[in-house]
Amino acid sequence: MAALSQAAEAEERATAAERRAVLGGEDRDAMALQLEEARRAAATALDEGRQLRRRLDGERDEARRQATEATRQLEELRTATEHRIRDLRGRLDPERERLQELARAAEAQVEQQRIDHQRALAAQRDEHAAALAAAHQQLHEAQEQAAAAREEVAASSEDHFGRRLEEERAAAEHALQVDRQRHQAQLDALVAEHDALVAELRDEREARLAALDAEHRAQQQALRDAHQRELDGLHADRERTVVAETGQRDEQITELQQRIAELEQDRDAAYQQAAETHDRAARIEEVAREELERQVREATAAAEAERDELLLAHERELARREAERDGRLRDAEAAHAAALEELAERQVQAIEAQAARHEQELTALRQELEERIVQVAGETDQARAMASELGRTVETTEGELRETRRRLDRETAERRERERELERLRANTGDVSRSSRERITQLEQDLRRSRERLAAAERSEREARAALKSRESAARHGQEPDPRRSLADQAERRRLEQRVGDLERRLQAALETARSTEAARREADRRALAAGDAGEQARQQMAAAEERVAEAEARIAALDAAHEQAAAELREQLLAADDAAEQARTAMRAAEQDGDARVARLQDESAARIAEIEQTRDAAVAELARLRDAHDRELEALRSAAPDDERAPDDE
């Protein structure tokens, strides 16, 4: 513009000089020289003006080309970002569906295992009750048979009764010692087998659950200690039973020795009195045994009723706590959803207000452009600054996308690791279930064999009882014993005593089998509880994985929205700047600079809003995690405070 002004002034001076030359009659040579100089100056000024115009046009075209290139790059970046987001969503959706399928399958498997375990437990309880009733019946019959055998022995009137009885007593003591040793060996074998099984299970569980926390290991240690205490109690009960039986046998032997001495002194005179004394002692012993059995049955029934009441109360308490936790979780989720909706509504309102302000700013910008048409200096530097700022914006966006990609890769690796851990836990759970089923099958076979032995013993008892009844009827009719049948009577008496001893040993073996079956059932219950814990942990891990996937999707959606908004605003600014450039060439750079500043400000505001949304979401997620942790701690406290029998329904 300055060059054009100088050229116009030179032309005016030349015209004035010609006019003065024509009008004033001055020296033509001097005037011609001045005119030539003025014309050369005007031509030079015109050339400079043309060069300046060409340079400005080139700079304007270059700035427009750079703006177009930046727009194209931004559009390509947005398209690539959309493709990446679609790819990520396409990969995440099958993963989420697969995790949901795994969760449903794990829940169904755990539920089926719980149902099967309850059915097996009910069947075992019924079988144990039947076996216990049969054992009590056999004990009663064996006691009756032993009393009859004692009466038959006492009724014998042979000459060598004392010596034979002493020999039989020694044989009975020897048999009792042999039985005691055999029972002790069986008990030691069962204890060794049980200890080996406990050690094997302990090693297997420690190898499988090495990644679990210290609280779980402490709980398992407490369970093992309780099981060991129970085993020690069984050992102590067994020892007390053996000592009591030995004392009773010793007392019986002492009483028999006393009666033998009395019979040797005056056998014929004291026979009836000894028989009456023996009858009274047998009746007293039978009454005492019946009273003891009745007390044992009443105590057992009372203990079972109390345990059932405690189990029902514990189940009700757990149901109530579960309902309270679900209510708190639903309230927290509802509050979180309401907060997110309110935040989204505020964001939409803010965006609408910002759009209105944008319109006002664009109107003011158009008015401002009409006033700044004459401003030319500094346009090139401003265009370069705008291009640099746009490049930095693109680099920042690419960095954010790279960071998002790396974070998603890490989360995918963590999710795969959790899936592998879940598969390992599921495989271990299947192994434990198979071993439990095999052990239960073996115990059922042992119980059937015990029942067969008890049936054989019962038949033998019936035969002995029939023989004793026939002898008693013969004694009541006044028949005197025939001395010639002494050998046959002695053989029959020995056979009856051997049957009594066999019945007692079989009964003891049946009781030992019932105890071992009960211990195996408790071991199966413990393994089922461990499988339930593993399933629960797998469900928690899958829920955590789904939460992280949802968070990643939310972050991707927020980043996508931010990029879309920034791209739309940048396109609007570029279009407005292009329109303004068509109206005024020199004002385009200023408009683009203003548009770039607005884009940067809007990006900063969008980033701030995204950060605020993420903070709100993180706070809500942390609150939910805190509520879950508190509930888990309450459940763990209840489990650790409850006894073993009360803990089974909760774990199932």
pTM: 0.21
Above pLDDT 90, what percent of the chain? 0
Locus of tokens 């693109």: 394
Query: What pLDDT sits at residue 143?
Result: 60
- CA 184 remoteness from chain centre: 44
**Cα four-point dihedral sign 597, 600, 606, 608:** negative
**What is the C-alpha separation between 344 and 613, in angstroms, rounded?**
9
- Beta strand spans in 421-535 (E): none
Q: How many residues does the chain have?
A: 652
Amino acid (1-letter code) at residue 93: D
Q: So what's the pLDDT on residue 174?
A: 74
Assess whether pLDDT exceeds 50 at residue 500.
yes
Q: In a 3-state reduction of DSSP, which class is residue 209?
A: coil
Q: Which is more confident, 140 or 72?
A: 72
Phi–psi pair at 118, nearest 5 degrees: -65, -40
Q: Report how far apart, in Å, the C-alpha atoms of 613 and of each of 340, 400, 558, 607 are.
A: 8, 17, 9, 10
Does 274 have pLDDT greater than 60? no
Rounded to the nearest angstrom, the gap between the alpha carbon of residue 27 and the centroid of all alpha carbons in its chain is 114
Q: Residue 488's CB: how many other CB atoms inside 10 A?
A: 10
What's the confidence (pLDDT) of residue 420?
74
> In this predicted structure, what is the pLDDT of residue 73?
72
CA distance 508 to 243: 14
Of 493, 477, 481, 474, residue with least CA distance to 153: 493
pLDDT (tens digit per residue) in 416-436: 776 676 566 556 555 544 555
Mean pLDDT along residues 135-144? 63
Residue-averaged pLDDT of the chain: 64
> In this predicted structure, what is the pLDDT of residue 337?
62
Shortest CA distance to 576 belongs to which of 364, 351, 356? 364
Token pair for 187: 């008990």
| Residue-level pLDDT at 414 | 73
The C-alpha atoms of residue 108 and residue 113 are separated, in whole angstroms, by 9
To the nearest 10 degrees (0 to 180), the angle between helices 28-155 and 2-24 is: 170
- Of residues 449 and 274, more confidently modeled: 449
What pLDDT digit, counting tens, does each position of 606-629 carry? 566 666 766 766 776 677 677 767
Report the pLDDT value the prediction gives residue 432, as an integer from 0 to 100: 45
Note the pLDDT of residue 268.
62
- What pLDDT is stored for residue 559 in this prediction? 61
Position 376 scores a pLDDT of 47
pLDDT digits (tens, 9 = 90+) for 562-593: 656 755 665 676 666 566 556 655 655 565 56
> What is the reported pLDDT for 45?
65
CB atoms within 10 A of CB 524: 22
Burial of 450 (0-12, 13-18, 19+ CB in 10 A): buried
* Nearest in space to 501 (alpha carbons), one of 259, 183, 286: 183
DSSP state of 480: P
Closest CA to 411 of 535, 540, 562, 544: 544
Q: Are 282 and 143 in contact (CB under 8 A)?
A: no
Rounded to whole angstroms, the Cα distance separating 174 from 439 reads 36
pLDDT tens digits along 168-217 = 666 666 766 776 677 667 666 666 666 666 667 667 766 666 666 667 56
Burial (Cβ within 10 Å: 0-12, 13-18, ≥19) of residue 426 = middle
Res. 450 pLDDT band, cuts 50 70 90: low
Q: What is the mean pLDDT of residues 455-484?
A: 59
Amino acid at 245: E
How far, in whole angstroms, is CA 602 from its chain's centroid? Answer: 44
DSSP reduced 3-state for 190? helix
CA 109-114-115 angle, to 5 degrees, is 100
Q: Provide the pLDDT confidence category of residue 385 given band limits of 50, 70 and 90.
A: low
Whether the CB-CB separation of 536 and 422 falls below 8 Å is answered with no
Q: Is residue 51 over pLDDT 70? A: yes
Assess contact for 538 and 425: CB atoms under 8 A. yes
In this prediction, residue 409 carries a pLDDT of 72
Determine the longest span between alpha carbons in the chain, in angstroms: 198
- pLDDT value of position 339: 65
CA distance 380 to 372: 16
Q: Which of 369, 373, 353, 390 is nearest to 571 (CA)?
A: 390
Q: What is the DSSP letter of 280?
A: H
Instruction: List all residues 6 or more positions away from 262 whose beta carbon is below 8 Å from its beta carbon.
Output: 270, 274
* Average pLDDT, integer, range 72-87: 73
DSSP conformational letter for 26: -
- Rounded to whole angstroms, the Cα distance separating 552 from 533 reads 29
In the predicted structure, residue 331 carries a pLDDT above the cut 70: yes
Q: Please give the helix or strand (H or E) that residue 183 lies within, else none.
A: helix 161-208
* Residue-wise DSSP of 213-276: -HHHHHHHHHHHHHHHHHHHHHHHHHHHHHHHHHHHHHHHHHHHHHHHHHHHHHHHHHHHHHHH
Q: Cα(260)–Cα(50) distance, rounded to whole angstroms?
A: 154
Phi, psi of 156 (to 5 degrees): -70, 140
Q: Side-chain half-sphere of 474: how many Cα atoms within 13 Å?
A: 12
